[in-house]
Amino acid sequence: MWLLKSAFVGFCNSEYETIMLFSGDSDFGGLLKYVKSLGKNIIVICTRNRMSTELEEVANKFIPAETLASFLKYERKNNTTPHLRGE
């Protein structure tokens, strides 16, 4: 968590206005509350049933991950299975 906090502090001192978090984990709540107190915007992206109360309270905007499914969809080009190392 120390490394993440260092990254957030660097962000807070930057010209960026918005941070996007791809997680619903409540462990980020305190850190994002601090970031928001510095005037930064918070966007949280996660599945609807996984967003913690802490993040719900601090987020300026919530984007349900389900709405990105078609945009992020992975399609295999052929029906072959990737080979494992050593095969």
Whether residue 22 is contained in a domain is answered as yes
CA-CA distance, 59 to 33, in Å (whole number)?
Answer: 9
How do residues 10-58 score in pLDDT, each as one tens digit? 767 778 889 899 999 998 998 889 889 989 999 999 988 889 999 999 9
Question: What domain range includes position 45?
Answer: 18-58
- What pLDDT does 50 receive? 87
- What pLDDT does 13 receive? 72
pLDDT at 8 over 70: no
Whether residue 5 is contained in a domain is answered as no
- What pLDDT does 5 receive? 67
Whether residue 29 is contained in a domain is answered as yes
Quick check: pTM over 0.75?
Answer: no
Q: What is the DSSP letter of 69?
A: H
CA-CA distance, 25 to 57, in Å (whole number)?
Answer: 13
Whether residue 41 is contained in a domain is answered as yes
Whether residue 8 is contained in a domain is answered as no
Number of domains in the chain: 1
How many residues can be counted in the chain?
87
How do residues 52-86 score in pLDDT, each as one tens digit? 999 999 999 999 988 887 777 777 777 666 656 55
